[in-house]
A and B are shown apart, each in its own frame.
Chain A
Amino acid sequence: MKKLKYITLVAASAILGLTSCKKFLDINENPNDPTSSEVGFVIPQALTGTAALTVTYNTYGAWQVGYTSNAGGFGGFGSQLTYNYDATSYTGVWSASYNNLEDYQYILNETDGKDEWSYFNAAARIMKALVFQMLVDQYNDVPYTEALQGLGNTTPAYDNAEDIYRDLYDQLDMAIATIHDAQFPRPLANSIGTADVMFNGDMTRWIRLANTLKLKLLVRASGTDVFNGVTPTFDPAGFIQDDVIINPGYSNAAGKQNPAWQTYHSSFAPTAGNSRSIITTHYVVGFYNANKLTDPDRAAAVYRGGVNPARNQTGEQVNNPPAPANGPVWFSGNGSTYAFADNPDGSSPDKSAIGVLKGRNMGQPLMLLSEALFLQAEARMRGIISTGDVTEFFTDGVIASFRYLYKNSLNVIAPNPLGLTDYEADALAYMSVNANNPSNPKPYLTDITEATTDAQRLEAIITQKYIALNMIHGHEAWAEYRRTGYPAINNTTPLGQYATFVSILSEATTVDRLPGRILYPSTEFQLNAENVPGGVTVFGSYVFWDRRN
């Protein structure tokens, strides 16, 4: 009996000891970072991530299509000038995309099948489709169905690019249906504020974006048979009616600036420019300075120096001018120096800048209205859509470009030091001046009614898109160039500085001396070697819709 008592006592104290030991040790709860998050906090971050992604893509695309060139005083451009990319070139395009996609996937995982979260689910699905199209347009086949599963699949297989395109179209339809079918959806907001830093919870605008993305898939794949058998249908909400702009509240603070401003203008503590190593090219300036077209108004809005900005022929490393001392070449604001730029934050809109770099607080465009209108013009021309008028879409596209560039950092048209406010009149004047210029060999470039063939119409549409996207979405211009061959270049050697945007150091063996594509990043060869497609080369491999195929 006594023995039993002892045993009980020992056992009891042992148990007590163990439980208290567990309590003593159970302190591993993270006091520093959250280990879960409501989806309402993930979506604003993800959208802002996509906004930053467009800058990563633009930086890459702008080099390919001659928006940017090497400035004087800098060297070490390497493959940026030769196009001879290796598996470490532009790897950020890949990693930042999947990083961003994982956030959308998290929202989808958390909200799939939950009526309450329908709007979050639909928004994430639309954005996932948007980013995947950006990826496919650079890499062709990419991991898609097996991607974004974390430990579920750390070596995802690559899907055929055409299949992805086809599925993205369906995903966009699914997202639109999810919005319509929602019974008791929460608005796109979180417990603290709005979660939708793009459309402020306006679901009609989300549907319009989905429609426009569907149109973009159809137009870009129009030369292929991906959508054979698909009758294009669009939700009656129509296409986007304004520039799609993401702005979580970019401001004059470290890490909170608009990402394009941060990348191309200056850090928030205004000192020197962040992009002093790049200026623009003669080729693109030719669309403003009467070499190809005359466009003094948009030139004044886009460039420091108007029709005469610091520019170079890509690859020229001897007689290339440096970037302007007092601002990047794409900044037309009033500031005389980086340090003391006048109201770069737009606090006095009458003094604020317009153009490409409008201010630290400007929203980041995800898709320009002009791009959507040019898409509709081409789609109408090709019969993908059956309503509307090509000429009207085209004209509206040019006007929308003027309008976007005339807006200040608060996304409004307001008095500005350049005196550029009447975008419609200026756009119409631009179109007629050039169309009526007897020395302009291609009057149809500004007046599509002058075009006599679909090829000319396409050239007009894509060339105007190229001008509208200047230093905003270089990757879209690059995709359209690969697809259509416009804007036209002339590679007669020696390469003329106004005739082509091809680098004089190009090592490309392609017909147009431009790269075919960028390569899969080296990390895929190390970590996903069984799946990453072999035999892909910079100058011999193209995305499936590339005209050079």
Chain B
Amino acid sequence: MRKLLTMFSLLLLCSTLVVAQQRQITGKITDKAGQPISGATIQIKGTNSGTTASSDGSFTITAKTGDVLEISAVNFGSISTRVGSGSALGNIALETKENVMDEVVVTAGGIMRKKREEGYNATHVSGQQLTQAKATNLAAGLSAKVAGLQVNAINGGVNPTVRLVLRGNRSLLGNNNALLVVDNVIVPNDLIGNINPEDIEDINVLNGAGASALYGSDASNGAIIITTKRGKAGVNTVRLSHTTTIEQVSFYPKLQNEFGSGWQTGSFVPYENQQYGPRFDGQLRQLGRPNRETGEVQMYPYSPNNSRKEFWETGIQNQTDFSISSGDERSTYYLSAQYLSVDGTTPGDEFGRAQLRFNGSRNVVKGLKLSYTANYIQNRYDITTNTGAIYQHLLNTPAWVPLTRFKDWRNDFWSSPEGYYNDYYANPYFSADNYRQKTRNDYLTGTVQLNWSPKTWVDITYRMGLSTRNNSSKATVGRYIFFNQDYITGSKANVSGSVSDGMFYSTQLLSDFLITFKKTVSDFKFDLTLGHSVRNNHSKSVNANVTGLVVPDLFNLDNRISEFPNASESNSRARQVGVFGQLKVGFRNYLFLDLTTRNDWRSELDPSHWSFNYPAANVSFIATDAIEALRNSKFIDNLKIRGGWSKVGNVNIGPYQLIPTFGPAFGFPYSSAGPGYTIGDRLVASEIAPEMTTGWEAGFDVDLYDKRINAGFTYYSTSTVDQTVPTGVSIASGFSSYLRNTGEVSNKGIEALLHYTPIRGKDWTVTVGGNYTFNDNKVVSISSDVPRLQLSTGGAAQVYAVPGMLFPVLIGTDYQRDDEGRVIVDRITGYPIGVTENVVLGNTNPRHRLGLDLEVKFKSFRLWALAEYRGDYSVYHDMGSTMDFSGSSIRTVQFNRERFVFPNSAYEDPSRPGTYIANTTVQVRDGGSGFWANGDGAYNMNVGSNYVVSGDFWKIREISLSYDLPRSLLAKTKYIKGATISLQGRNLFLWTPKSNIYTDPEYNFSDGNAIGVTTLSQSPPSRYYGATISLTF
């Protein structure tokens, strides 16, 4: 028998040799409206041989007379047809499947469920939806596509960091990023920017903790469950595609082009960074100081140019993808490779990523299935570490300076640090070149899973997952000593050079064991899953650095003027053990109750407090199946009503944090005095517990009008208590902070989606729709001794958590105002009077988010567009004060650098102190640098409210137009089954309110919870557009 089987598969493989008995059968598969169904599966009954329909619905299969072809497609009913004597089967129309609710999806713990059983909001994103605009970063590809999911690309650069948050921030200071699960295994969040989006089959976004409670301590932030592509039995596909993308700065700070060099209003200084000098007049003027050796000076026309923007280059990205998938009745495999190279907009910045993936499965014996995946990713960064300084230097460049001519700082005197015109700020090309970092990351992830069904009523699953990251990075600063020290001025100085070399690895090992029992008792169906899960995290980092190089440009730790390099080491180990159970009861396939419980033990916590229980329950009810009247409705296709409750925790404390530590400071150890230790400044409560999130949600999903309309709606409410917060303590206690559990954060909101297909015809299909999210994220309380919790430090407005307010808010300095809100000015000088106490300047998480999408299909053309709106929030742009200080900002010319009456101001009535008279006459004493760039900043620069502006925006996230080449054209090539050409763009347009003259409000200075502050360290936002050619063999 076995021999026969082998022979049989051999015959299949060599089917061309046996055409004698068999022949090519062709056909076309469409829906009832005649619209082709691409990807429909055609299988010969009783065998594993089959094929899939191409994008125009047509297929070719080798079969013989009498074979029965079983034709099926997702969302459609299946149909069987017997092969007659002819070769052409013609059009085969499939009925739309009665119930899309029967699609099977992967849920928490890798458990497969039908959609109808999901008692919570979950959004499914297909691989195609993810990659249609060719986002190189998976997270960027999710932007605006999922209700409840906020995706923030927090910076520009060659591989932007992205923050993914579901249903608002639950933790004040801890992790709020959604849990990332790939092929049923939890992986570290940094993989999100490194997984190849082309490998993804689909994503199931579990918005709430209720859906993901089975993951226990990791689950409070919701989960993004990614399933990668696998081979299909009987389908051999080879895909090759290439994408080239151009990146250009899309939004630039609004700069003035009227006034040039000078720090005092109207007087010209050739070496000045500030732009409060005379108005441009086109005359030739001296730039910078003369060459000390030759006496030469450089002269340029005193008129503005565009070089401050032209400094940012046009970036290019090239992405090549290759994949093979295949399978037979016992095994499948999928193999893919990707190479991505990115040349960024910052001069010299590069990024490369290469990856390989191998997925496979094998039915070992009947009932025992083995599946495995392996993914290797390597990325390489070569970027400057000085983006913030470069940007600052740019803004401190008067508009007439021909900046782009100063690239060659090594050879050209006027570009060198000595000769560079600016006395106070370095040449940005020098900064970009001299401050570099090279980083290598190698990721290896793998899973092995065994499924065994010894009996029909029992399933046993065991899986192991591994993810490791190996990183090494080297940051360098070239040594630069001025050949003539007299060129050293104000802030221009020698650079001693430095090298910092670091390595780390992190490893996550997981093991899950699940056993599921199924039992049906009359109308009731019971599924009981019991499981056990172990997670082990280990990481280590070592860093050594030296400052002060001997040989310039030799970047080695041995090349140093000091006796020893500085070195540091850090190790971390954490473990988690969980046991869980899930009982699902189904009644007549329309009412489902899901009960889960999980107990976790966490090594990071004190043994007396390390065990926690997380229960959850949810219900789904398919009204259209249960209620006779609805079942027969012509209008309502499906209606699911769902709801759930859950309690899960989030351990926001790392290993080894419970006991205060001693550490060396002040240069210890010394060779003569030996070691020295000082006591750490933090106190920790030993009874630290996880932050507990309790929440409920309710909603419905509905399909209407022959599925032309589908909609969903969810309301949720969560409360997170026992925030892990370092509260401040009086420094006189000898310590400065005290880490403990205190405080509560709440989130309430709605998630809604609606799609409508007005046209669904043979040639045309048009679908429009969108998703909407409202989230009300509040700090309910913190602690009686913590009136506010500061999340960031720095400029004139910073991010805080304040009890009773939205989370988070900006608090910063504002002008003194009278009762009517008018700014109080000095009656004599006209200047506003000092800044006062800090005030709340706005919330920083958008309360409203809307994603709108449009899909138009016309024959082989497909157009897709996605727009996003975010509103009702504010952002503090820290660059604003730099722009005003330098005089480069458009704000500083709003009164033509002339004296002006401070808008909406008032001064104190000298005869009646405490009352104020509207100011219409008293002008500020100096409308130039004296006001805008005043040394202590009291009039303008240090007033945070000047730079807090609405963060609202509309963005065109994605547009793509693709065209499938007709089969007739490809037929001649014999090998090519399909070819697609597409054009796509991302982040093409950004519209913001007029007040935002700074940057993309989506950006943030950190990827933590302190949302709402942009700084100069984020390079300007970019738009991307490119083209892809994709071939299927």
Q: Is the C-beta of A440 less than 8 angstroms from some C-beta in chain B?
A: no
Q: Is the C-beta of A338 less than 8 angstroms from some C-beta in chain B?
A: yes
Contact B733 A33 (CB under 8 A): no
Within 8 A of A (CB), among B222-245: none
Contact mask for chain A residues 241-260; partner B; CB cutoff 8 A; 1 contact, 0 none: 00000001111111111010
Residue from A77, A147, A197, A527 having most chain B Cβ neighbours under 10 A: A527
Contact mask for chain B residues 660-690; partner A; CB cutoff 8 A; 1 contact, 0 none: 1111111110111111111111010000000
Contact mask for chain A residues 457-498; partner B; CB cutoff 8 A; 1 contact, 0 none: 000000000000000000000000000000000000000000
Contact B662 A37 (CB under 8 A): yes
The bracket for how many chain B residues form the interface is 35 or more
A75: chain B residues at CB < 8 Å are 935
A31: chain B residues at CB < 8 Å are 571, 573, 656
Report the bound CA distance from A517 to B605 in whole Å.
Answer: 46
B705: chain A residues at CB < 8 Å are none
Contact B494 A27 (CB under 8 A): no
Contact A255 B667 (CB under 8 A): yes
Which DSSP category, helix, strand, loop or mixed, fits chain B's interface? Answer: loop
Q: Is the C-beta of B569 less than 8 angstroms from some C-beta in chain A?
A: yes
Contact mask for chain A residues 31-69; partner B; CB cutoff 8 A; 1 contact, 0 none: 111111100011011101101100000000000000000
B497: chain A residues at CB < 8 Å are 269
- Whose C-beta in chain A lies nearest to the C-beta of B610? A25
Q: Give the interface segment out of A153-161, A217-225, A425-433.
A: A153-161
Contact B607 A22 (CB under 8 A): yes
A251: chain B residues at CB < 8 Å are 563, 670-671
Report the bound CA distance from A515 to B484 in whole Å.
Answer: 43
Report the bound CA distance from A77 to B736 in whole Å.
Answer: 28
- Whose C-beta in chain B lies nearest to the C-beta of A248? B673
Contact B676 A154 (CB under 8 A): no
Contact mask for chain A residues 360-392; partner B; CB cutoff 8 A; 1 contact, 0 none: 000000000000000000000000000000000
Report the bound CA distance from A160 to B570 in whole Å.
Answer: 45
Q: Give the interface segment out of A91-99, A204-212, A231-239, A293-301.
A: A91-99
Q: Give the interface segment out of A171-179, A187-195, A399-407.
A: A187-195
- The answer to whether A28 and B604 touch (CB under 8 A), given A269-B497, A270-B496, A526-B728, is yes
Q: How far is the CB of A137 from chain B (nearest CB, A)?
A: 16
Report the bound CA distance from A248 to B430 in whole Å.
Answer: 39
Q: Give the interface segment out of B356-364, B485-493, B911-919, B1004-1012.
A: B485-493
Report the bound CA distance from A193 to B675 in whole Å.
Answer: 8
Report the bound CA distance from A254 to B547 in whole Å.
Answer: 7
Q: Is the C-beta of B495 less than 8 angstroms from some C-beta in chain A?
A: yes
Q: How many A-B residue pairs have CB under 8 A?
A: 249
Contact A76 B936 (CB under 8 A): yes
Within 8 A of A (CB), among B576-595: 577
Contact B673 A155 (CB under 8 A): no
Q: How far is the CB of B424 from chain A (nearest CB, A)?
A: 8
- The answer to whether A73 and B601 touch (CB under 8 A), given A34-B661, A248-B676, is no
Report the bound CA distance from A255 to B546 in whole Å.
Answer: 11
- The answer to whether A271 and B496 touch (CB under 8 A), given A25-B603, A28-B656, A147-B732, is yes
Residue from A156, A253, A521 having most chain B Cβ neighbours under 10 A: A253
Q: Is the C-beta of A263 less than 8 angstroms from some C-beta in chain B?
A: no
B610: chain A residues at CB < 8 Å are 25
A149: chain B residues at CB < 8 Å are 733-734
Q: Is the C-beta of B629 less than 8 angstroms from some C-beta in chain A?
A: no
Q: Give the interface segment out of A5-13, A102-110, A112-120.
A: A102-110
Q: Is the C-beta of A1 less than 8 angstroms from some C-beta in chain B?
A: no
Q: Is the C-beta of B650 less than 8 angstroms from some C-beta in chain A?
A: no
Q: Is the C-beta of A325 less than 8 angstroms from some C-beta in chain B?
A: yes
Q: Which of A94, A153, A193, A322 is the one whose CB lies under 8 Å from B673?
A: A193
Q: How far is the CB of A96 from chain B (nearest CB, A)?
A: 9
Contact A26 B490 (CB under 8 A): no
A77: chain B residues at CB < 8 Å are 935
Residue from B605, B656, B673, B785 having most chain A Cβ neighbours under 10 A: B673
- The answer to whether A154 and B604 touch (CB under 8 A), given A45-B668, A76-B935, is no
- Whose C-beta in chain A lies nearest to the C-beta of B488? A325
- Whose C-beta in chain A lies nearest to the C-beta of B730? A528
Q: Is the C-beta of B552 less than 8 angstroms from some C-beta in chain A?
A: no
Q: Which of B490, B661, B731 is the one whose CB lies under 8 Å from A521?
A: B731
Q: Which of B569, B673, B733 is the one whose CB lies under 8 Å from A147?
A: B733
Contact B736 A52 (CB under 8 A): no
Q: How far is the CB of B688 from chain A (nearest CB, A)?
A: 12
List 30 interface pairs A-B (beta carbons < 8 Å), by A numbering: A27-B574, A31-B656, A32-B569, A34-B662, A44-B675, A45-B676, A46-B676, A48-B676, A94-B731, A103-B679, A147-B733, A147-B734, A151-B683, A152-B733, A154-B683, A154-B729, A156-B730, A250-B670, A252-B562, A252-B563, A254-B547, A259-B666, A269-B547, A270-B548, A271-B481, A523-B731, A523-B736, A524-B731, A527-B785, A528-B732
Closest A-B pairs by Cβ, 3 of them = A269-B548, A45-B676, A102-B734
**Which B residues are closer than 8 A to A by beta carbons?**
481, 485-486, 488-490, 493-498, 546-548, 561-564, 566, 569-571, 573-575, 577, 601-605, 607, 610, 655-656, 658-668, 670-681, 683, 728-736, 738, 785, 787, 935-937
Q: A21-B577, A35-B662, A527-B730 are in contact. List 8 more A-B contacts (CB 8 A).
A: A22-B607, A25-B603, A33-B662, A147-B732, A148-B733, A154-B729, A192-B675, A523-B736
